[in-house]
Amino acid sequence: MSPRRNRPRGGAMRQAAAPSPHETGAVRYGLEQTESWQGEEWSVRMIGGGAAAKHYRCPGCDQEIPPGVPHLVVWPQYGAGVEDRRHWHKSCWNARDRRSARLQRSRNAPRY
């Protein structure tokens, strides 16, 4: 007996194609989006784990983002240079309005 087919064959029984990420609201890695926050427009780009090669510090929680962890790169859309980019955990960026801007780092914490 031959094994059962799990996928339908092409032709008349073919199912509709999957919706694109733009139709479902999903975010794709490496593509920029624009979001409003504190009266400014911000460019937001998702970075996949394979593209994250350095250590970063999240401004939302003041914790380190190690290499290989997916995260967001955020910068002001207008008049921003490379030095204005910040690397955020996705959950920290989503909770940015509930986070305090006055986080204090301990004396012996690395500053990068």
Q: How many CB atoms lie within 10 A of CB 65?
A: 21
pLDDT tens digits for range 27-70: 555 577 888 888 888 899 999 888 888 899 998 888 899 999 99
pTM over 0.75: no
Q: Judging by beta carbons within 10 Å of its beta carbon (0-12, 13-18, 19+), is residue 66 exposed, middle or buried?
A: exposed
Q: Judging by beta carbons within 10 Å of its beta carbon (0-12, 13-18, 19+), is residue 51 exposed, middle or buried?
A: middle
Q: How many CB atoms lie within 10 A of CB 72?
A: 22
What DSSP element (H or E) covers 9?
Answer: none
Residue type, 80: A
pLDDT tens digits for range 62-86: 889 999 999 999 998 887 777 888 9
